[in-house]
Structure 1
């Protein structure tokens, strides 16, 4: 979900989609320690947040090291940018079938398998000198992300008492803005100082440490009973699900078109030397955005979604001004990040609320769609860069956000209701 998961990622993917399952998963009585009556299980939730961090940073790291990565692999920046596209395709193509095939797996075992996949994929990326092999490793990382996003938010909800489940998801999703505010700038710095491969090697080290943390701190939970998921066709007919999915696709597409090629766009503006700072400001603002979302999502989901979309649009409009001013670029990045930060949690929660009994299937569909939008965004952004130049990127964002505002505003009864009815 990224990046921007993403999805997911959803949130959740939640992402990605972040991109993730934002509803409690059904199943037999849960094993492990009982849920605390009035507090969050922070050690376990922070381990899940770190898993989200690894997923999101693996997804978005190429944006910070794209020029060096393309030079080292002897391809153009548009071709190197397809490392984001291939990652997203790995998630989009495998999230739904893998979620179905692994539905009965113990949750902890499944999460450990996913994190091990990230460790392997980032290791190959760090040592590969072949463009084809690098793309293969990125696809494998995307498959691991599909597994992760399909369970992380649901895992977080099941670990928390009912009245704190929304906040538990927000805690887990802090891994997304932390990846953007700390991970990508740190990776950009490492890429400039000692080479982009070191940044991916560092991701392997983080994933290896996370395996031990999960093993020690995260309670195990059972999977779903056989036949427990609703069919996709029936889920799409549930009122509100389709509007949320359509908003997810357009919003993630708009974000990815610009974020993947932000280094190239800043070069176009003449402020390429500030890429790390811009990404830091964007990520810090995203962290503020998810904090605000966590505080107000129970009462203001519709308002927050509209406000976030408008902020992203204003940020893109400010970036479109060819002023060459670093200060203006930083303000634009802050507005963009503030609007984007809460998007994974908002969309995961919206699709879970709308899905009802089919929430698990709806969430997995959101993960796939989130990453399909990321893949399309990486591809579309590369085409725009080659055909029209970097100046076209922020204008494409504005064009894509028009239907997002229209659908959210129109989905007053289901999807983004005026009066929220939690799942």
Structure 2
């Protein structure tokens, strides 16, 4: 999850008709929805195994904890490649880079769908993670560059809406489709959607130049900028906490006797996530800090409910609602916070955020698998709760830089209604 640089605004204006005249008051919705679909594909490709673990493990002849590592290896692929690929492709034109990344998803999901060999499946998932490294190093910045300054927060929120849509519709639909026609069909459906998106990008998404050599990201220097380190810490620990439970949600619910309701629980979680991202998009310019605090507290409350009251089916669904309300806006909050804190080094800050996000995804898959084998799935909510305590502390502490009460650019932005 990263942004392209915002330093090429004059070049963007030459290529983007939305950047001048009447376009100053509008967002390029068709193009932003294409980016949201790309986000949807990257998010769903990453998390789809969470709803299909039992069936995938049977077909691949491995344990569920081993199959859970398909999420881990995807995240490793992204974590290992996001920064070097961002640097290596910094000079590429943005649309060419986006098309290359999405073509990688089509290839990886096709191989995953047809493979019966665990090692080949893991290799395909790694390739998908590499494609995600390219995509996430591009998408938020792409959205920013297509919008006038006073609408950039809303543009990012629209693009990031692909995440809760993937959770609210994609994973449950993939789970239902997997139960009905087999998990392989779910991955083939992802390939078909990606092929349609490639044509959409060519037709509707404006192109932008890459960076010149003198503008390449300086990673270590960026860490010394006030506010960047707190945002990166919160990203690492928050995503780790979320992934420990989410990567094994099908197994966790099965152990509660709710295995047949996995799709419905995910649907409730995702619907709440959609509400969360709508709220976040409307309030991000004025209440970044409050949104960061609320997100962590809501997920902590959900974990507490699951830890002590998971024997009540009704309260499991309440926890799913709280979890979704807390988690849905997190990508937008963290990307906005990293971009604001990084300032002129926003692209470097975002590239590091992408890397740590996926380190956390990989760590969550590994730690979750260890906990599942050693203690059992009942340990997941307690672990989530324990990890969120330092997250809340750091967000509260970083009130001047990182998670300020008001975004630095908010004073210059208009109070137009959300699009």
TM bin (shorter chain): over 0.9
For 1:8, the equivalent position in structure 2 comes to none
1:336-375 alpha-carbon deviations (Å, 9 max, x no partner): 0000000000000001111111111000000000000000
Moved more, 222-231 or 406-415: 222-231
How far the C-alpha of 1:34 sits from its partner, in A, is: 1.9
SS at 1:145 equivalent: helix
8 Å CA contact retained: 1:20, 1:151: yes
**CA distance in 1 between partners of 2:318 and 2:252 (Å):** 16
**CA distance in 2 between partners of 1:219 and 1:323 (Å):** 48
Matched, 1:34 2:14: no
Which of these residues, 400, 403, 406, is aligned with residue 416 of structure 1?
Answer: 403
For 2:417, the equivalent position in structure 1 comes to none
Matched, 1:395 2:382: yes
Give runs of aligned pairs for residues 264-283 of structure 1, distance below 5 A.
Answer: 264-283=251-270
For 1:369, the equivalent position in structure 2 comes to 356
Give runs of aligned pairs for residues 300-379 of structure 1, distance below 5 A.
Answer: 300-379=287-366
For 1:179, the equivalent position in structure 2 comes to 166
Give runs of aligned pairs for residues 16-95 of structure 1, distance below 5 A.
Answer: 19-21=1-3, 24=6, 26=8, 29-30=11-12, 31-35=14-18, 36-95=23-82
**CA distance in 1 between partners of 2:16 and 2:386 (Å):** 50
1:218-244 alpha-carbon deviations (Å, 9 max, x no partner): 111111111313421110000010000
**CA distance in 1 between partners of 2:148 and 2:190 (Å):** 32
For 1:117, the equivalent position in structure 2 comes to 104
For 1:157, the equivalent position in structure 2 comes to 144
Which of these residues, 131, 155, 165, is aligned with residue 144 of structure 1?
Answer: 131
SS at 1:390 equivalent: coil
User: Cα–Cα, structure 1 residues 343 and 54, in superposed 2: closer, same or farther, change >3 Å?
Assistant: same
**CA distance in 1 between partners of 2:164 and 2:378 (Å):** 26
For 1:11, the equivalent position in structure 2 comes to none
8 Å CA contact retained: 1:293, 1:304: yes
Aligned residues: 405
User: Cα–Cα, structure 1 residues 300 and 353, in superposed 2: closer, same or farther, change >3 Å?
Assistant: same
Give runs of aligned pairs for residues 223-234 of structure 1, distance below 5 A.
Answer: 223-234=210-221
User: Cα–Cα, structure 1 residues 323 and 60, in superposed 2: closer, same or farther, change >3 Å?
Assistant: closer
For 2:184, the equivalent position in structure 1 comes to 197
8 Å CA contact retained: 1:27, 1:225: no
**CA distance in 2 between partners of 1:323 and 1:347 (Å):** 30
Runs of 4+ in 1 over 4 A off after TM superposition: none
How far the C-alpha of 1:328 sits from its partner, in A, is: 1.2
Give runs of aligned pairs for residues 259-298 of structure 1, distance below 5 A.
Answer: 259-298=246-285
How far the C-alpha of 1:335 sits from its partner, in A, is: 0.3
Matched, 1:167 2:149: no
8 Å CA contact retained: 2:36, 2:162: yes
CA RMSD of aligned residues (A): 1.2
How far the C-alpha of 1:23 sits from its partner, in A, is: 5.6
**CA distance in 2 between partners of 1:33 and 1:233 (Å):** 32
**CA distance in 1 between partners of 2:10 and 2:151 (Å):** 22
Moved more, 31-40 or 92-101: 31-40
8 Å CA contact retained: 2:78, 2:355: yes
**CA distance in 1 between partners of 2:406 and 2:135 (Å):** 31
**CA distance in 1 between partners of 2:34 and 2:195 (Å):** 13
Give the TM-score, by structure 2 length: 0.95
8 Å CA contact retained: 1:157, 1:168: yes
Give the TM-score, by structure 1 length: 0.94
8 Å CA contact retained: 2:16, 2:146: no
Matched, 1:249 2:232: no
SS at 2:260 equivalent: helix
1:309-342 alpha-carbon deviations (Å, 9 max, x no partner): 0000111111123543321111100100000000
User: Cα–Cα, structure 1 residues 299 and 23, in superposed 2: closer, same or farther, change >3 Å?
Assistant: farther
**CA distance in 1 between partners of 2:159 and 2:264 (Å):** 25
